[in-house]
DNA sequence: CCGTTATGGAACGTGAGTGTCCCACTTGGA
DNA sequence: TCCAAGTGGGACACTCACGTTCCATAACGG
């Protein structure tokens, strides 16, 4: 990995840290946190928008890769979701800006890529509904969003010190899979 | 209700609409959407920060009032949560900016007020864990965040047209209370 | 009806962030 | 060692949003 690649990585990492705290932070702040001149930042990412895009795409790549490495298409669906959760959660709160960045919200193609990255999860959920391990009275789209939302919530909650990140995978899985009610009787 | 109050309401409503689409939108855009001069906006909210604060406090008041009107401290806990969900969800996606505004994220007192508004829900959950209707192996703080997060997710998902807002209360309650797995057997 | 009150428009100064350019410097590799 | 690639800093113009002020006008209440 050459010098340029390392500088680029440094900038992206710094941008994640700074922008997740304040999505309106200046590029000077990003460059400073990266220990790099603002000129150099512009050399790699000519405009702010390009930086954001690169940032989001990098994050999406990481999520997609984490999901793929958990092999969501193999074995019992609940086990598969457990594996996905265990690999995605440690990616950390640093990715929680994915649903806060204004630029993301208003860029249709980025939202599309977000759901493309989640597609393997959607397929696993469909598989679970088909084989009877997941309840079929919930729309797949909703289940996908609820699951992803639970992970985002876990990141935010851990960020605020209300839970430990290491507990997050269990909390997310228990809550999403079994719910918060006691198992035996269905309270109506 | 005098003229000033009505203008203030108009401005707050317009600000919710505009800022929830783009949290970095200009005050001109807000004033224009409200059909009001920018001067008038500054007369009611001298600075941008004051507008945001008023906005968030207004939204928090609405949520707190909705929760209170659902009497979360009465009857079976699951029923109580059902009532809260039914009253809060219709407040609409317009409130989803509550967790996206940078100013909110970095204002400690606003976060505190957010959890104050959710306090009755937290008490209901504690009550449920005590009387055995809710599983006790999840931290109350986590359950509160997961529940609130599910409602926020429902708003966002409805906003994107992936579900109907009218279905949201059922989806939220089913998912949070019972989970996404089929009831009978516990898939390990 | 008249006067108080609220509003709208225009203009201005200010500050911050952005993007660009140029030049001196340093780092790394051939 | 020397050269080229990469970097840092300073300076600049430009844009945009913000907050303020002044004044004319419109709306409401007594």
pLDDT recorded at residue A75? 97
Within 10 angstroms of residue B9's Cβ, the number of other Cβ atoms is 13
Mean of per-residue pLDDT scores for chain B? 92
| B134 φ, ψ (degrees, to nearest 5) | -115, 145
Whether the pLDDT of residue B184 is over 70: the answer is: no
Give the Cα-Cα-Cα angle B168, B136, A91 (nearest 5 degrees): 65
Collapsing DSSP states into helix, strand and coil, what is residue A182? coil
Which of B:7-46 have CB within 8 Å of A?
21-24
**Can you say how many angstroms the Cα of residue A6 is from the centroid of all Cα atoms in its chain?**
23
Mean pLDDT, range A151-164, rounded to an integer: 94
Instruction: Read off the pLDDT of residues A76-119 as tens digits, 9 standing for 90 and up.
Output: 999 999 999 999 999 987 788 787 777 777 778 888 999 999 99
Size of interface A-B (CB pairs under 8 A): 158
Mean pLDDT, range A133-152, rounded to an integer: 98
Instruction: Read off the pLDDT of residues B159-177 as tens digits, 9 standing for 90 and up.
Output: 899 999 999 999 999 999 9
More confident of the two residues A5 and A145: A145
pLDDT recorded at residue B116? 96
Instruction: Read off the pLDDT of residues B64-117 as tens digits, 9 standing for 90 and up.
Output: 999 999 999 999 999 999 999 999 999 987 788 787 777 777 778 889 999 999
Confidence bin at A186 (pLDDT 50/70/90): very low
Tokens of A138: 């919930």
Nearest Cβ partner for B139 among A125, A132, A163:
A163
Separation of A39 CA and C20 C1' (Å): 10
Q: Does A146 touch chain B (CB under 8 A)?
A: yes
Domains of chain B as residue ranges with CATH: 1-46 (1.10.10.60), 53-178 (1.10.357.10)
Find, in chain B, the residue whose alpha carbon is nearest to that of A23: B102
Strand C closer than 7 A to residue B4 Cβ: yes
Query: How far is it, in rounded angstroms, from Cα B87 to Cα B93?
Result: 13
Q: B181 pairs with which residues across the strands? A: A134
pLDDT recorded at residue B188? 44
Confidence bin at A188 (pLDDT 50/70/90): very low
Q: Do A133 and B174 touch (CB under 8 A)?
A: no
Separation of B38 CA and D13 C1' (Å): 28
Separation of B36 CA and C8 C1' (Å): 8
Within 10 angstroms of residue A43's Cβ, the number of other Cβ atoms is 14
Instruction: Read off the pLDDT of residues B22-49 as tens digits, 9 standing for 90 and up.
Output: 889 999 999 999 999 999 999 999 999 9
pLDDT recorded at residue A69? 98
Residues 6+ apart with CB under 8 A from A95: A16, A59, A62, A63, A155
Nearest Cβ partner for B181 among A78, A145, A182:
A78
Collapsing DSSP states into helix, strand and coil, what is residue B58? helix
| B128 φ, ψ (degrees, to nearest 5) | -65, -40
Mean of per-residue pLDDT scores for chain A? 92
Instruction: Read off the pLDDT of residues A14-68 as tens digits, 9 standing for 90 and up.
Output: 999 999 888 899 999 999 999 999 999 999 999 999 999 999 999 999 999 999 9
Which of B:111-140 have CB within 8 Å of A?
111, 125, 132-135, 137-139
pLDDT recorded at residue B154? 96
Separation of A159 CA and C26 C1' (Å): 40
Chain A hits for B125, Cβ within 8 Å = 180
> Comparing C-alpha atoms, which of A147, A15, A141, A135 is closest to residue A81?
A147
Q: Does B177 touch chain A (CB under 8 A)?
A: yes
Tell me the H-state helices in A23-96: 27-34, 38-44, 48-69, 77-88
Collapsing DSSP states into helix, strand and coil, what is residue A142? helix
């Amino acid at each position: 990995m050459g010098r340029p690649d390392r500088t680029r990585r440094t900038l992206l990492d710094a941008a994640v840290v700074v922008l997740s705290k304040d999505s309106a932070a200046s590029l000077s702040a990003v460059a400073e946190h990266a220990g790099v001149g603002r000129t150099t930042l512009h050399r790699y990412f000519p405009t702010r928008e390009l930086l954001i895009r690169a940032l989001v795409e990098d994050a999406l790549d990481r999520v997609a890769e984490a999901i793929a490495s958990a092999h969501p298409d193999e074995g019992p669906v609940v086990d598969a979701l457990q594996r996905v959760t265990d690999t995605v959660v440690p990616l950390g709160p640093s990715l929680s800006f994915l649903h806060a960045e204004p630029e993301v919200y208003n860029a249709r193609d980025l939202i599309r890529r977000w759901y493309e990255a989640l597609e393997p999860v959607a397929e696993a959920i469909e598989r679970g509904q088909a084989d009877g391990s997941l309840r079929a009275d919930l729309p797949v789209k909703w289940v996908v969003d609820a699951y992803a939302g639970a992970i985002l919530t876990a990141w935010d909650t851990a960020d605020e010190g209300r839970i430990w990140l290491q507990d997050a995978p269990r909390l997310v899985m228990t809550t999403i899979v079994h719910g918060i009610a006691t198992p035996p009787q269905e309270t109506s």
